[in-house]
């Protein structure tokens, strides 16, 4: 039973350990699956937003190509400018993301703009103007996010160089994309309270951030993993703590195949893992209930085994006491109370057993039967007490003469005493 107790204790421990390990494995697997789903969904969303952003810039580029070719072909006279205005008005009606369209001469002065406040503004020191002044290529240039001098709004400039027939610099055409348009579009995407959508340059300069933080526009993010350890990947996912607000997030990014723009989607880790955390808490609660049941049943089982052990111990003690009592009773039942010799019942049993053994083994068996002469006269003369003392003394003398363990002396009856001597002949 003690072995059963140890086995039950080990069984309870193993069951509890298995339940805990199963719970840990299930929670770890669910966490891994949740993180995989987050990575898959965010990288797909980043790819979709990158495609949308490419479309925005492609529309701006196509608009610039048409306008710059018209200027190079028709010139910038008053009549040509009026025609240009009507063309720009039609195209801006179809492209709500366009904030302004401006024309700059070789000196960096705005000679035409859809925002009259911009006309006459000198932008020679603007990054986009210096780029085209020093670069003969005709590819569009996407400038940093700036606050428009004319409208006061945050915009991203997309510009294209205008050339003379000899390919010399003749100015440039600039369209600005309203950051507010992008922020409005991003606001329709559910990224949670701590989620972020951002556009950066391939060098890591922040262009657009949703939620919008003006102080962070232009921040250098080149030291983050997206632009260090992940810089050679066209798309991917990573995790790190934001330098802006210190919140750990899951990041998914997609580098544009056409423009020097990186689209980034970020979800707050704690917020993104809330469903998993809730499921894990429920699983832990179920596990605790299950462990409580197992431990409760185990305690009852152990108590039951303890009770059985105590009952068995008590039974063994009772059995030993009963055996001892039976032996004592058997001894009392087979002993003559007066002389202490075997009584007639024990004598008959012993003689029968030894007689059969002697016959079976063809061995000798001797029987001595003696009595006290004139005992009745002695007993009548001196009294029963003296007679009893005489019988006791006689029994002691007979016992002293018996030296072998197998010999038995018995009171045969009255003053008669018998001695059985197994293996003894008449000599």
Say what the alpha-carbon torsion angle 308, 311, 316, 318 is, to the nearest 10 degrees: -170
- pLDDT value at position 95? 92
CA distances from 109 to 77, 112, 120, 231, 335 (A): 16, 9, 6, 38, 143
The β-bridge partners of 418 are 369, 410
Q: 427 pLDDT exceeds 80?
A: no
Chain segment 119-163, per-residue pLDDT in tens: 888 989 888 999 999 999 899 999 999 988 777 889 999 999 999
Name the residue with higher pLDDT: 151 or 101: 101
What does the alpha-carbon distance between residue 27 and residue 15 come to, in Å, rounded to a whole number? 18
Q: 1 pLDDT exceeds 60?
A: no
Domain boundaries along the sequence of the chain:
334-422
- pLDDT value at position 295? 85
Q: Are 408 and 420 in contact (CB under 8 A)?
A: yes
Tell me the average pLDDT across 421-425.
82
- pLDDT value at position 184? 94
Strands in 269-373 per DSSP E:
365-371
Q: Give residue 204's pLDDT band: very low, low, confident or very high (50, 70, 90).
A: very high
Name the residue with higher pLDDT: 361 or 109: 109
Q: Please give the model's pTM, rounded to 2 decimal places.
A: 0.68
Provide the CB-side half-sphere exposure for 47 (13 A, CA).
10
**Tokens encoding 323:** 């055996």
Backbone angles phi, psi at 47, to 5 degrees: -65, -40
**Tokens encoding 59:** 């529309």
Decide if domain 334-422 falls under CATH 3.40.50.300.
no
- pLDDT value at position 374? 81
- pLDDT value at position 333? 67
Tell me the average pLDDT across 332-340.
76
Average pLDDT, the chain: 88
Chain segment 266-282, per-residue pLDDT in tens: 999 999 998 899 888 99
3-state secondary structure of 416: strand
Tell me the average pLDDT across 368-393.
82
- pLDDT value at position 2? 58
> Per the omega criterion (within 30 degrees of 0), is the bond before 406 cis?
no
Q: Give residue 265's pLDDT band: very low, low, confident or very high (50, 70, 90).
A: very high
Chain segment 166-199, per-residue pLDDT in tens: 999 999 999 999 999 999 999 999 998 999 999 9
Q: 5 pLDDT exceeds 70?
A: no
Cα 227 from chain centroid? 32
């Amino acid at each position: 039973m003690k072995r059963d107790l140890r086995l039950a204790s080990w069984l309870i421990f193993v069951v509890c350990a298995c339940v805990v390990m199963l719970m840990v494995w299930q929670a770890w697997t669910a966490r891994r699956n949740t993180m995989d789903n987050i990575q898959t969904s965010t990288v797909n969303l980043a790819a979709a937003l990158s495609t949308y952003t490419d479309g925005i810039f492609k529309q701006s580029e196509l608009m610039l190509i048409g306008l710059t070719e018209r200027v190079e072909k028709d010139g910038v006279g008053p009549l040509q400018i009026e025609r240009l205005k009507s063309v720009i008005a039609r195209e801006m009606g179809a492209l709500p993301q366009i904030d302004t369209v401006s024309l700059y001469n070789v000196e960096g002065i705005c000679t035409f703009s859809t925002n009259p406040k911009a006309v006459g503004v000198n932008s020679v020191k603007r990054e986009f103007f210096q780029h085209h002044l020093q670069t003969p290529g005709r590819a569009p240039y996407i400038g940093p996010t700036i606050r428009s001098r004319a409208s006061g709004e945050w915009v991203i400039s997309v510009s294209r160089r205008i050339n003379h027939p000899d390919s010399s610099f003749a100015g440039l055409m600039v369209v600005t994309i309203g950051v507010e348009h992008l922020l409005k579009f991003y606001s329709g995407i559910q990224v949670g309270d701590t989620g972020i959508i951002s556009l950066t340059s391939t060098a890591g300069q922040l262009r657009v951030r949703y939620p919008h933080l003006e102080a962070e526009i232009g921040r250098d993010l080149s030291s983050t993993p997206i632009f260090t350890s992940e810089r050679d990947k066209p798309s991917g996912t990573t995790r790190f703590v934001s330098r802006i607000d210190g919140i750990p997030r899951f990041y998914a990014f997609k580098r544009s195949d056409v423009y020097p723009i990186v689209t980034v989607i970020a979800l707050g880790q704690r917020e993104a893992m809330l469903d998993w955390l809730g499921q894990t808490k429920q699983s832990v609660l179920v596990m605790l209930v299950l462990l409580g049941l197992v431990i409760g049943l185990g305690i009852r089982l152990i108590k039951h085994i303890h009770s059985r052990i105590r009952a068995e111990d008590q039974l063994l003690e009772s059995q030993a006491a009963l055996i001892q009592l039976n032996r004592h009773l058997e001894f009392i039942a087979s002993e003559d109370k007066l002389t202490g010799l075997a009584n007639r019942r024990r004598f008959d049993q012993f003689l029968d057993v030894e007689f059969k053994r002697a016959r079976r083994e063809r061995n000798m068996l001797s029987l001595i039967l003696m009595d006290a002469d004139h005992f009745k006269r002695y007993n009548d003369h001196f009294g029963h007490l003296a007679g009893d003392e005489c019988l006791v003394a006689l029994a002691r003398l007979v016992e002293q003469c018996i030296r072998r363990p197998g010999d038995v002396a018995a009171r045969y009856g009255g003053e008669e005493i018998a001695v059985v001597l197994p293996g003894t002949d008449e000599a």
